[in-house]
Amino acid sequence: MAWYCLDVSFGAGTFILNIMESLAPILLAVRRRTHPGLLSWHGRHRLSTANAGVGETSSPPSWYQLLLHARLAAVPMIGFGFMDNIIMIQAGDLIDHTLGVRFGFSTLVAAALGNLCSDASGVLFGSVVESAASKLNLRLPHLTPAQACMTITRRAGTMGQLLGVMFGCCLGSINLLFMDLDGAERLKMQKKLDTVWDPVLQSTHLLVKAERCTLYLYDEEKGELWTRAATESPLTMLIRRLTNRQVQPHVTSSNKQIISLSIHSKSLAATAARERRILNVSDAKTDPRHDTSWDAKTGTVTHSVLSVPILNDGKLYGCLQAINKVADGEHDMAGFTDEDEHLLTMVSNHISIFVHAVMDE
């Protein structure tokens, strides 16, 4: 039992021993047989104190001694808490963005797998944390054997461990401020919407004879429209620049990226969604609502735009946008017609039914 009192601050293992005090004699007997010379970095100091003070009577430790004792117990636990939480969050987020999207795992399953990685790391690298704590050379409380076994000393050590692991976990949670917490859910929804997204990107522009079409979905919580845009391959970009012609980019799984814009931003798509009405603009360059920065990013020139909000029972789900009316292989300066508005509205109505079923399931 003396070993248990002397080793009260031995990392996470002792934190459990303090709770399961009745099992201490059995556990310590096994430990004495398997590791006869092992003591923690501050436990060795206590053992020397015990040998020097045998037979002496001790008064309760001072508050200063208790604070030093609690600090010794807290410092390793800060490291454990920080390592545990940051690994769990990062591993869980990575699993959620990869395996979760690929196999449809829920966020809770990803969190459980992240916690598994965190626990494994604690076992593998726990000694590294304790070794780093020992190198700080913190001041020791110089407790006598009797003081080390007092209830108030054990409670101070336990409280130090508790506060240390809580503070470490809070430090490890700071990285949440710099993460896209909705990214995985957005990717999972994107996978469900693949069945409608590809036909919209690849076929709807042929229906209204547009150069390209873009499907925006509305994130009500963030107040954003987001889309999975098709980016040009190097070959498509080279052909466009050499021939000065607009070439429809080939959409593959490797050239898709997520872009988003605020519903209150300067954009024809955002305006149509925000005002819940169709916008048919024949000359976008002269319209103050057109955001010309997208032309610079994509390397294209926007002439005519048709934006149709996606609504279901008055609820906004996104916006369907056709860009640059084409006639006989050239831009039609007259822009989109009333028939194009009717066709795109009909397509958006079908999309709204599907999106409503996916987003509200």
CATH number of the domain within which 242 lies: 3.30.450.40
* Residue 95 DSSP symbol: H
- Which long-range CB contacts under 8 A does 232-237 form with residues at least 24 apart? 232/298, 232/299, 237/299
Choose the final residue of a domain: 179, 202, 219.
Answer: 179
Q: Looking at the structure, do residues 244 and 100 belong to the same domain, yes or no?
A: no
Choose the final residue of a domain: 179, 198, 222.
Answer: 179
Q: Looking at the structure, do residues 261 and 314 belong to the same domain, yes or no?
A: yes
Q: Looking at the structure, do residues 69 and 204 belong to the same domain, yes or no?
A: no
Q: Looking at the structure, do residues 213 and 169 belong to the same domain, yes or no?
A: no
- Tokens in use for 311? 């609504």
Spans of the chain, pLDDT less than 70: 1-58, 186, 189-190, 192-197, 199-201, 229-257, 298, 359-361
Q: Looking at the structure, do residues 203 and 316 belong to the same domain, yes or no?
A: yes
For the chain, report the end-to-end CA distance as a whole number of angstroms: 59
User: What pTM was estimated for this model as a whole?
Assistant: 0.50
Report the DSSP beta bridge partners of residue 326. Answer: 331
**Pairing state of beta strands 315-327 and 330-331?**
antiparallel
Contact 225, 259 (CB under 8 A): no
* Residue 200 DSSP symbol: I
Tally of structural domains, the chain: 2
pLDDT at 361: 57
pLDDT at 278: 94
pLDDT at 49: 42
Q: Looking at the structure, do residues 208 and 166 belong to the same domain, yes or no?
A: no
Would you tell me how many other CB atoms lie within 10 Å of the CB of residue 120? 12
Q: CA angle 245-246-249, nearest 5°?
A: 135
Show the DSSP H helices in the chain as ranges: 2-6, 11-19, 24-34, 43-52, 63-97, 99-103, 107-134, 145-148, 151-172, 183-192, 194-199, 205-207, 234-243, 268-275, 293-298, 338-359
- 243 CB-near residues (< 8 Å, 6+ apart): none
Choose the final residue of a domain: 149, 164, 179.
Answer: 179
Burial pattern 279-299, b for ≥16 Cβ within 10 A else e, equals bbbbebeeeebbbeebeeebe
Q: Looking at the structure, do residues 94 and 171 belong to the same domain, yes or no?
A: yes
- Tokens in use for 7? 């080793």
- Tokens in use for 358? 């996916």
Q: Looking at the structure, do residues 175 and 189 belong to the same domain, yes or no?
A: no
Q: Looking at the structure, do residues 231 and 173 belong to the same domain, yes or no?
A: no
Task: Please state whether 276 falls in left (phi above 0), alpha (psi between -120 and 50) or beta.
Answer: left
pLDDT at 66: 92
What range does the domain containing 173 cover? Answer: 2-179
- 44 CB-near residues (< 8 Å, 6+ apart): none
Q: Looking at the structure, do residues 289 and 174 belong to the same domain, yes or no?
A: no
Q: Looking at the structure, do residues 189 and 141 belong to the same domain, yes or no?
A: no
Q: Looking at the structure, do residues 107 and 8 belong to the same domain, yes or no?
A: yes
- Phi/psi for 320 (5° steps) reads -110, 125
